[in-house]
């Protein structure tokens, strides 16, 4: 049983083969954090905490002057009765006070894991896969229950947490802050790592030492954002890709979030993640409840790589859902960079004809097919086909594509409205706005108010009609701006600060309904590339357009950084034209293909204008992709060389049975007369013999991992190689 309750010591031990998490109820009231990390056996868990009197640290236990909430490592700390650090939550009561006294009331240990109502969460397929602990705390004066939910997976080094407020009292209260998890480490000699960026430069890695005080990352944009992914990790100072202790936390949520780390004067570290408390207030009336999103907590004793592989497995197998979860995805061509808004049915058909000949399997029609949208200034909201561009409608084009033996996919951006649209003219109050204030535009558009039920219902109906109107196998769901003037015409003044979270609940309802109604459609999420690349979105749509930056060199960093949390199967990666549309760089087709083949391969260029030589190369690359795609998409990833550290990048994927692997090696700028170089592989079975690219000479796994594989002498910028490795 992976959750044990030791009544005598008042200690919970959540464990699996590799991880332990220990909580102690102190003074019968306070859930204190004892330990999280490598699996331990503890004979005397209650001796872990040590209390020492500290000046200016008040005590809630007059009989024990050494005890203070200010120095107690806690599980879900409050503010206002002695702990001066960042609280996990704050409520404002009807009398205006923010003082609460939640104390332990009871607990329950359950087999399995429950889904969260209206929110994405990781799941199980069988009750034996996980156990759940629910600690119930109660504030007797307010009559409010606070449930702290913990689930530990049996075969994954993952603990998930969330909090749930249940109002059984008699006065409305406001929730001003409610993180999904908080945990206090006993030490602070860590580094921390996070993924930062912006549009076209997402998820770059930054590692820094922890300092005293609060360090935080967040989003206030109404989306998880290009700027900071909802993830951070604490790393032991010696942690590398392969070795060391790493603690990763991530939030299953696609909206505003905050993750913070506080190092206190006694060198303890408080880590938390949840909905961003800034600009958030949620009112709960008696009889109502509030559920926080779920936090995913991963511990790895095998460095950053070990953490990533755990996140990958969880996301791939217990977050993503639907028929495509376990299926490779069709190789697609998207017309966006080939035509932008300027296309005709004839041009699209030519692109499709040529693509089919090259072995491409799915044709995606991007932005510009509806209303009078010839640029980004109009028509979002008017989801009616533009007959000037597509005289035979979506159905005509989709049928043509399908008759060729290809699948057809369509782009939509349902969450938005253009001021120049019939929808906006009819319902000017359906967008997020504050009466009397300006409505700030971004990409000439406004955000529909998905906190309103009728707006969500309208979108469900409209999209259901479109998706049923033609043979549509794939949908690209875009979202091209962040929120401003966040207010809803449908909410009373005291609920205005609920708008952003209600929007997310509305979005999740729409996605749940549509993905249930159209189980065979492959949904790809997009927000100007990777502006909403988070675990929450993957619960509904199993892949995301990784970035609008399709340059092969930039993509190395973006895909490498993304892989810190997300597996290759969640990333869309396209081969595009040169000079590259984002950075103007010229890279060889081979390099562009080899980068895109490390994820879900697609194309986004005028294939009808390619030279014969390039066409032949694409045919060959596609055939290679078919050989390696299962290894890339379902294998374990090992990062070998980082593009953030030099001109070389390498990563590899290994099948679960270690019988096949594929290594990708890229050199951006060549060095004159370069040194000899052996690349040390990882993740192979040391005892198995492997052949590389079917060459005669086999190597042992340990040989390839310890001595390494000799790499070719590179004399050209933007060189790249793929090695297919198979056990004999
Ligand atoms: C942003 C996306 O990331 C692009 O791929 C493309 O779909 C455009 N939007 C279309 O407006």
* Any domain includes 233: yes
Instruction: Give the domain range for residue 699.
Output: 648-727
Cis peptide bond prior to 579, omega within 30° of 0: yes
Q: What is the percent of the chain with per-residue pLDDT over 70, rounded to a whole number?
A: 100
Q: Where are the alpha helices (DSSP H) in 207-290?
A: none
Is the distance from CB of 248 to CB of 242 less than 8 angstroms? no
228-236 and 246-252 strand pairing: antiparallel
CATH number at residue 550: 3.20.20.70
The reported pLDDT for the residue numbered 43 is 86
Does residue 244 sit within a domain?
yes
Which residue spans within 81-212 are E strands per DSSP? 89-92, 103-111, 130-139, 144-153, 158-167, 173-185, 190-196, 204-209
Let me know if 83 is a catalytic residue.
Answer: no
Residue range 70-75: mean pLDDT, rounded: 97
pLDDT at 46: 86
Give yes or no for a contact between 274 and 216, defined as CB atoms under 8 angstroms apart: no
Q: How confident is the model at residue 724 (pLDDT cuts 50, 70, 90)?
A: very high
The reply to whether ligand 1 has any atom less than 6 angstroms from the CB of 475 is no
Could you tell me the CATH number of the domain that includes residue 701? 2.60.40.1180
In a shared domain, residues 655 and 622: no
- Answer whether residue 531 shows pLDDT above 90: yes
Same-domain status, 491 and 536: yes
Domain assignment present for 30: no
Q: Find out whether the beta carbon of 273 lies less than 6 Å from any atom of ligand 1.
A: no
Q: Are residues 164 and 96 in the same domain?
A: yes
For residues 663 and 540, membership in a common domain is answered with: no
Is residue 19 a part of any domain in this protein?
A: no
Within this chain, do residues 461 and 375 fall inside the same structural domain, yes or no? yes
529 CA distance to ligand 1 middle (Å): 7
Give the model confidence (pLDDT) of 319-335 as tens digits.
Answer: 999 999 999 999 999 99
Specify the CATH number for the domain of residue 309. 2.70.98.60
> If pLDDT is split at 50, 70 and 90, which confidence band does 300 have?
very high
Neighbours of 94 (CB within 10 A): 12
Q: What is the rounded average pLDDT for all residues in the chain?
A: 97
Q: What is the pLDDT of residues 553-599, one digit of tens each?
A: 999 999 999 999 999 999 999 999 999 999 999 999 999 999 999 99
Which pLDDT belongs to residue 1? 59
| 275-298 tens-digit pLDDT | 999 999 999 999 999 999 999 999
Q: Is residue 110 assigned to a domain?
A: yes
Instruction: Looking at the structure, tell me whether residues 93 and 173 fall in a common domain.
Output: yes
Are 231 and 368 part of one and the same domain?
no
Convert the pLDDT of each residue in 369-395 to its tens digit: 999 999 999 999 999 999 999 999 999
Can you tell me the distance from the alpha carbon of 602 to that of 609, in angstroms, rounded to the nearest whole number?
17
pLDDT in tens, 482-505: 999 999 999 999 999 999 999 999
Residues whose CB is less than 8 angstroms from the CB of residue 606 and which lie 6 or more positions away in sequence, other chains included: 338, 351, 577
Whether residues 296 and 246 fall in one domain: yes
Same domain, residue pair 592 and 670 = no
Pair (428, 464) in one structural domain: yes
3-state class (DSSP) for residue 206: strand
Q: What is the pLDDT of residues 91-148, one digit of tens each?
A: 999 999 999 999 999 999 999 999 999 999 999 999 999 999 999 999 999 999 999 9
Give strand pairing partners of 192.
208, 234
* Active-site annotation holder among 184, 264, 548, 551: 548
Of the residues 318, 352, 386, the one at which a domain ends:
318
Question: Residue 82: is its pLDDT beyond 90?
Answer: yes
Q: How many domains does the chain have?
A: 3
CA of 411 to the centre of ligand 1 (A): 9
Which mutation among 337, 343, 366 tests ligand 1's pocket best, with the greatest number of atoms within 8 A of CB?
A: 366
Tell me, using a 6 A CB cutoff, whether residue 641 lines ligand 1. no
Asked if residue 462 and residue 398 are part of one domain, the reply reads yes
For 219-236, the pLDDT digits (tens) are 999 999 999 999 999 999
Question: Is 648 an active-site residue?
Answer: no
Question: Where does the pLDDT of residue 181 fall: very low under 50, low under 70, confident under 90, or very high at 90 and above?
Answer: very high
Could you tell me the distance, in angstroms and rounded to a whole number, from the CA of residue 526 to the centre of ligand 1? 8
Q: What percent of the chain lies above the pLDDT cut of 90? A: 99
Say what the pLDDT of residue 350 is: 97
Q: Is residue 266 part of a domain?
A: yes
What are the CA-CA distances from residue 22 to residues 71, 137, 543, 553 (Å)? Answer: 17, 17, 35, 44
pTM of the model: 0.98
Q: Which of 634, 661, 691 is the last residue of a domain?
A: 634
Is the distance from the beta carbon of residue 156 to the nearest atom of ligand 1 less than 6 Å?
Answer: no
Under a CB-based contact definition with an 8 Å cutoff, are residues 328 and 630 in contact? Answer: yes
In a domain, 376, yes or no: yes
Structural element, H or E, at residue 399: helix 393-403
d(CA 454, CA 434): 19
Give, as one character, the DSSP assignment of residue 675.
P
Q: Is residue 53 assigned to a domain?
A: no
Q: For residue range 635-655, what is the model confidence (pLDDT) as tens digits?
A: 999 999 999 999 999 999 999
State whether 301 and 191 are in the same domain.
Answer: yes
- Number of H helices and number of E strands within the chain? 12, 38
What mean pLDDT comes out for the span 422-439? 98
Among 267, 296, 318, residue at a domain's last position: 318
pLDDT tops 70 at residue 549 = yes
**Alpha carbon nearest to ligand 1 atom 4, residue:** 528
- pLDDT of 432 strictly over 70: yes
């Amino acid at each position: 049983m992976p959750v044990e309750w030791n009544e005598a010591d008042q200690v919970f031990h959540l464990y699996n083969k590799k991880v332990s998490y220990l909580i102690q109820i102190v003074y019968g009231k306070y859930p204190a954090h004892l330990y999280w990390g490598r699996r331990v056996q503890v004979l005397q868990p209650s001796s872990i905490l040590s209390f020492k009197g500290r000046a200016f640290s008040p005590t809630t236990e007059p009989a024990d002057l050494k005890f203070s909430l200010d120095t107690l490592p806690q599980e879900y700390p409050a503010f206002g009765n002695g702990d001066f650090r960042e609280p996990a939550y704050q409520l404002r009561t009807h009398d205006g006070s923010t003082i609460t006294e939640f104390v332990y009331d009871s607990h329950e240990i359950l087999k399995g894991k429950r889904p969260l109502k209206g929110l994405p969460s990781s799941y199980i397929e069988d009750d034996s896969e996980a156990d759940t602990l629910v600690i119930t705390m109660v504030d007797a004066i307010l009559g409010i229950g606070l449930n702290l939910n913990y689930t530990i997976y049996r075969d994954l080094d993952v603990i998930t947490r969330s909090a749930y407020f249940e109002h059984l009292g008699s006065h409305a209260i406001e929730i001003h802050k409610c993180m999904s998890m908080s945990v206090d480490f006993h030490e602070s000699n860590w580094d921390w790592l996070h993924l930062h960026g912006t549009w076209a430069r997402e998820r770059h890695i930054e590692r820094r030492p922890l300092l005293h005080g609060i360090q935080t990352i967040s989003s206030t944009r109404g989306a998880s954002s290009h700027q900071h992914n909802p993830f951070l990790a604490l790393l032991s100072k010696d942690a590398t890709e392969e070795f060391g202790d790493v603690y990763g936390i991530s939030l299953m949520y696609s909206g505003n979030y905050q993750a913070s780390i506080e190092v206190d004067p006694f060198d303890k570290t408080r880590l938390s993640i949840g909905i961003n408390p800034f600009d958030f207030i949620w009112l709960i009336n008696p009889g109502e409840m509030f559920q926080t999103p779920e936090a995913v907590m991963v511990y790895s004793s095998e460095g950053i790589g070990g953490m990533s592989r755990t996140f990958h497995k969880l996301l791939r197998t217990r977050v993503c859902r639907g028929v495509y979860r376990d299926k490779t995805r069709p190789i697609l061509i998207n017309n966006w960079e080939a035509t932008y808004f300027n296309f005709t049915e004839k041009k699209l058909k030519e692109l499709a004809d040529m693509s089919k000949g090259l072995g491409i399997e799915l044709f995606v029609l991007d932005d510009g097919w509806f209303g009078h949208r010839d640029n980004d200034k109009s028509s979002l909201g008017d989801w009616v086909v533009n007959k000037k561009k597509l005289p035979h409608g979506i159905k005509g084009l989709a049928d043509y594509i399908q008759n060729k033996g290809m699948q057809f996919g369509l782009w939509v951006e349902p969450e938005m409205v253009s001021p120049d649209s019939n929808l906006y003219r009819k319902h000017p109050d359906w967008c997020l706005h504050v009466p009397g204030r300006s409505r700030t535009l971004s990409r000439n558009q406004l955000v529909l108010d998905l906190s309103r039920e009728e707006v969500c219902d309208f979108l469900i109906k409209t999209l259901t009609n479109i998706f049923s109107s033609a043979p549509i196998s794939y949908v690209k769901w875009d979202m091209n701006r962040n929120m401003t003037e966040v207010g809803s015409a449908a909410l009373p003044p005291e609920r205005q600060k609920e708008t952003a979270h209600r929007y997310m609940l509305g979005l999740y309802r729409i996605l749940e309904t549509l993905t249930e109604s159209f189980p065979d459609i492959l949904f790809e999420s997009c927000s100007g590339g990777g502006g909403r690349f988070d675990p929450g979105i993957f619960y509904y749509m199993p892949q995301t357009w990784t970035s609008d930056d399709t340059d092969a060199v930039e993509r190395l960093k973006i895909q490498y950084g993304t892989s810190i949390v997300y597996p290759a199967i969640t990333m869309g990666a396209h081969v595009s034209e040169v000079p590259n549309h984002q950075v103007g760089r010229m890279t060889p087709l081979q390099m562009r293909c080899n980068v895109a083949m490390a994820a879900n391969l697609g194309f986004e260029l005028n294939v009808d204008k390619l030279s014969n030589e390039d066409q032949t190369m694409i045919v060959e690359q596609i055939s290679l992709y078919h050989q390696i795609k299962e290894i890339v998409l379902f294998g374990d990833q090992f990062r070998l060389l980082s593009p953030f550290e030099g001109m070389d990048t390498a990563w590899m994927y290994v099948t679960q049975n270690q019988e096949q692997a594929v290594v990708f090696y890229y050199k951006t700028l060549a060095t004159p007369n370069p040194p000899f170089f052996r690349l040390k592989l990882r993740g192979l079975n040391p005892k198995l013999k492997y052949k590389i690219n079917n060459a005669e000479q086999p190597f042992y796994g340990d040989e390839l991992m310890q001595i390494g594989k000799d790499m070719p002498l590179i004399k050209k910028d933007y060189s790249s190689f793929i090695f297919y490795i198979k056990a004999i």
